[in-house]
Structures are given as structure tokens and as C-alpha cells.
Amino acid sequence: MINKVLKILYSHRFPLVVEKETQHAIEEKFSDNDVPYSREHRLDEKNIPDFFIEGIAIEVKIKGTAKNIYRQCERYCGFDEVKKLILVTNRSMGFPKEIKGKPCYFINIGKAWL
């Protein structure tokens, strides 16, 4: 499933300004491609990834500091239920290939517009 999700996220242009619009556009692509997802999956009271697909937490970030974005992703990776994490952003930042032993993927959606 990870390859299908990554292909969808890498191969489309998504809105870059308003995070809710970006999320909605991603949701449409998942629906169009029969990807079974849940929206705003509650890991606990404070940790709610934007999408959750078969153990894959997907976080969409349009604004925020790199440090805060990383901390949020790090929290998600602390949950047993999260097996992999995908960060979808238009921010230019470094991102590790693994957090807390969980594989991580970084998708800069701004590159699709180049």
C-alpha cells in the first residue's frame, strides 16, 4: 500500500497555500484511486494525523516551523499503531528516513509545480 500512496502523492499537483484545501485534494485522489483511508485518525487526545491508511500516518503541513513539524511527526511515530509516516509539505526542510524505528517519507509537494 505504501507504494500506491507514495505514487499518488508524488504524481499530482496539490494546492500549496491553504492546508485544508491541500487535504481535500489529497482526499479526492485517494478516493479516485480506491485507497481505503481514514481522516483525522485519533491516536490520542492530542495526536491526530490528517490521514491514516493501514498503519501509515500521513501529516499535511503547509505552515509551521521545521522544528514543530518534526516534533509532531516524532510524537506520531511513538505510537505502536503507526508503522510508517509520510510528511506532505511545501516547506523546504531536512527530514530523516526513520524516526523511532519507523520508516519515514518526505514529500515536497511544491516540486510538482516546477
Q: Is the pLDDT of residue 112 over 70?
A: no
H or E element, residue 30: helix 19-32
Residue 80, domain extent: 2-113
CATH number where 71 lies: 3.40.960
Annotate 12-37 with b (16+ C-beta within 10 A) or e (fewer): eebbeeebeebbebbeeebeeeebeb
Render pLDDT for 53-92 as a digit per residue (tens, 0 to 9): 999 999 999 999 999 999 999 999 999 999 999 999 998 8
For the entire predicted model, the pTM comes to 0.94
Question: How much is the pLDDT for 49?
Answer: 98
Q: Which residue has the higher pLDDT, 55 or 112?
A: 55
Question: How much is the pLDDT for 114?
Answer: 58
pLDDT level of residue 111 (50, 70, 90 thresholds): confident
